[in-house]
C-alpha cells in the first residue's frame, strides 16, 4: 500500500493525535512550554478527505492579546500542522474568547513552570 494511502486512511482521532504531537513542537516565545501543554490550542477540526489530504482548522489563543510575536506563533503552528502526513490545507484562527488563563495548562506544564498547586 502506498505511503500516502496509509495516511489517507487515518481515523480522525489518529490524525488529531498526530497534529497535537506536531503542535507540541511549537513553543510560546515567552514561556518555555509548548502551545498544547500551555492550553493555547482550543480546537482542532478535521475536514473531509481531499486529494491532497484533509483540511485542518486550528483555533488557538495566546497568553496575552498584545503578544508581539503573535504572527510568528500562529505561522509556526500552521507550518507544524501542514507537515503532518495526511493533512492538506491548514487554517489557524486566533481567538481571545475565552481568554487564556493558567488553569488551562497541563499538569506537566504547571510543574515545569512552578505553578503547580496554584491553579
DSSP, collapsed to helix, strand or coil, labels residue 93 as: strand
Q: Are 78 and 92 in contact (CB under 8 A)?
A: yes
Q: Given phi > 0 = left and psi -120 to 50 = alpha, else beta, which region is 43?
A: beta
CA angle 93, 94, 100 (to 5 degrees): 135
Domain for residue 112, yes or no? no
Domain that holds residue 97: 3-104
Nearest to 17 by CA among 32, 3, 33, 36: 36
Domain count along the chain:
1
14 domain-assigned? yes
- Asked if residue 115 is part of any domain, the answer here is no
Say what the pLDDT of residue 8 is: 52
The string of pLDDT tens digits covering residues 54-110 is 999 999 999 999 988 999 999 999 999 999 999 999 999 999 999 999 999 999 999
Indicate whether 7 belongs to any domain. Answer: yes
Q: Does residue 117 belong to any structural domain of this protein?
A: no
pTM of the model: 0.85
pLDDT (tens digit per residue) in 25-45: 999 988 889 999 999 999 999
Taking the mean position of all CA atoms in its chain, how far away is CA 89? 15
Q: Is residue 109 part of a domain?
A: no
The CATH number covering residue 49 comes to: 3.30.300.130
Amino acid at each position: 500500500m502506498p505511503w500516502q494511502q496509509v495516511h489517507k486512511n487515518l481515523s480522525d482521532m489518529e490524525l488529531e493525535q498526530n497534529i497535537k504531537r506536531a503542535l507540541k513542537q511549537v513553543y510560546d516565545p515567552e514561556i518555555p512550554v509548548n502551545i498544547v501543554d500551555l492550553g493555547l490550542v482550543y480546537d482542532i477540526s478535521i475536514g473531509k478527505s481531499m486529494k491532497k489530504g484533509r483540511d485542518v482548522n486550528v483555533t488557538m489563543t495566546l497568553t496575552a492579546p498584545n503578544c508581539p510575536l503573535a504572527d510568528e506563533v500562529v505561522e509556526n503552528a500552521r507550518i507544524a500542522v501542514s507537515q503532518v502526513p495526511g493533512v492538506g490545507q491548514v487554517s489557524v484562527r486566533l481567538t481571545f474568547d475565552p481568554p487564556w488563563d493558567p488553569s488551562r495548562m497541563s499538569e506537566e506544564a504547571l510543574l515545569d513552570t512552578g505553578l503547580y498547586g496554584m491553579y
